[in-house]
Structure 1
Amino acid sequence: MSLDAVVLIVLACLFAVVSGINDGGALLATGLKLPTIRPVTGIVTLVVLVAAVPLVTHQVALTFVTRLASFDEPGGQIAMTIAVVASLAVVAVLSAKGRPTSLTLAIVGGLTGAGLGWGLAVSPGSVALVLAFGLAAPFAGGLVAWVLIRVLVATTTARALRRWHWAGFLLQTLAYAANDAQKMLAVFMIAVGFSGAPVAYTVLVAVLFGVGTLYGLPKAGRTLSREIIVSRPAHGVTAELAAGTAVMACAVAGMPVSMTQAIAGGLIGAGVAQGGGRVRWYAAGKIVAAWLLTLPVSGLLGWGLALLVKGFASVRLS
Structure 2
Amino acid sequence: MRLIFAGTPEIAVPTLAALEGAGHEIVAVLTQPDARGKRGRTLHPSPVKAYALERGLDVWTPEKASAPEVVARIEELEVDAAAVVAYGQILRPALLAAVRLAWVNLHFSVLPAWRGAAPVQRAIMGGDDVTGASTFVIEKGLDTGPVIGTLTERIRATDTAGDLLERLATLGAPLMVQSLEALDSGIARPAAQGEEDVSYAAKLTREDAYVRWDLAAHVVDRRIRGCTPAPGAWTTLPDGSVAKLGPVSPRLQRSGTAPGQVRFEEGEVLIGTGTDPVALGWIAPAGKKPMDAAAWWRGARLGESAQLGEA
Specify if TM > 0.5. Answer: no
Greater share of strand:
2
Normalised-by-shorter TM-score class? under 0.3
Q: Structure 1 length as normaliser, TM-score? A: 0.24
Q: Which has the larger radius of gyration?
A: 2
Q: Structure 2 length as normaliser, TM-score? A: 0.24
